[in-house]
Amino acid sequence: MNVLKLTNKSITGTKPRLLITASIHAREYTPAELATRFAEYLVSNYGKDADVTWMLDSQEVWLVLQSNPDGRKKAEAGASWRKNVNDTQACGNGLFGADLNRNFTYAWGTGGSSTDPCNETYRGVSAGSEPETQNLQNLIRAAFADNRGPARTDAAPASTPGVYMDIHSYSQLVLWPWGDTTTAAPNGAALQSLGRKLAYFNGYTPEQSVGLYPTSGTTDDFAYGELGVAAYTIELGTAFFEPCSTFTGTTLPKNQAALLYALRVARAPYQLGSGPDSVSLSAPASVATGASFTLSASADMTRFNTSNGAEPARTIAGAEYFIDTPPGPAARRAP
């Protein structure tokens, strides 16, 4: 299992991270393609696009393009395969394997998974039993510091950096913890705000994970539950296999915009995700040395998806701008 890491290595120091894992369910091809295209976009636009250049200078993107490689081979051979290919548990219907997205150790086996090895949502013989799960958990722990206490009711600090995203298909949803209870997570309000912001870009329905159906032992509950990092699942599209024209014309551009926003706010997602956005910016293309110029910008609070509830009204108290020096911790109000 490989990890692709993107950043400007010549600029050192601790940088906020966006970690993306894709296609943990083998038959879900679209997530792997989206993650690959997103990486290609960042690399090809570095040094050309000011936003991409700033983000890769000051932040890191980690991508696992294929989170279930053995299962993927099974699917490519023609099976509608969801799980990994662990065949150590007897299974009369031939659908052996563990559902990797029910095998993560946080709140494992608390509902929304099966103890039947033949079931599509079989949770494995024990929490974290599968090598793919172990690899991904180690990666998530390496990517993010632990900023949350051990109790379910412990909130992470509002300044906690980093965003974790697990990309799936299908259902056109933006989901956040918890998946095993209707109780909101301790950082639930902030998770919801950023979820609605991401859903503004891809047009999907934003909701707490349990709203789709109960789950446990999942990637996003692990990342948030163990470490307090802002964690999301995006369900792409309307079918496992869609025409390439649908992917390139709709799924890719809308979800690439959502991923770019996630990277843009990765230094403080719980704060920036509920704040205003700069929706227009203008300045001269070039300015003579020592000359003055006018910078015009506007910011508002409109970029939230309101299909599943509206955000509370907030007053924009101020804005900041930066020339040459990228925004840091003191600039969290203006992504």
Residues with catalytic annotation? 235
Q: Give the span between the Cα atoms of 269 and 240, in whole angstroms.
A: 30
Consecutive H or E run containing 176 = strand 173-176
Two tokens, residue 103: 């095998």
On the question of a cis peptide bond just before residue 178, with omega within 30 degrees of 0, the verdict is yes
Extract the runs of DSSP E, i.e. beta strands, from 42-172.
60-64, 163-169
Two tokens, residue 263: 């990277």
Half-sphere exposure of 220 (CA within 13 A, CB side): 28
Two tokens, residue 230: 């802002």
Q: Is 253 helix (H, G, I), strand (E, B) or coil?
A: helix
Task: Tell me if 107 sits within 8 A of 145, measured CB to CB.
Answer: no
Pure H helices in the chain: 29-45, 50-58, 69-76, 131-143, 188-202, 219-227, 244-246, 252-264, 269-272
- Residues linked to residue 164 through DSSP beta bridges, in sequence order: 19, 231
Task: Tell me if 215 sits within 8 A of 271, measured CB to CB.
Answer: no
Q: Give the span between the Cα atoms of 263 and 227, in whole angstroms.
A: 18
DSSP 8-state secondary structure symbol assigned to residue 194: H
In this structure, what are the phi and psi dihedrals at residue 251, rounded to the nearest 5 degrees?
-60, -45
Radius of gyration of the chain (CA): 20
In this structure, what are the phi and psi dihedrals at residue 306, rounded to the nearest 5 degrees?
-105, 20
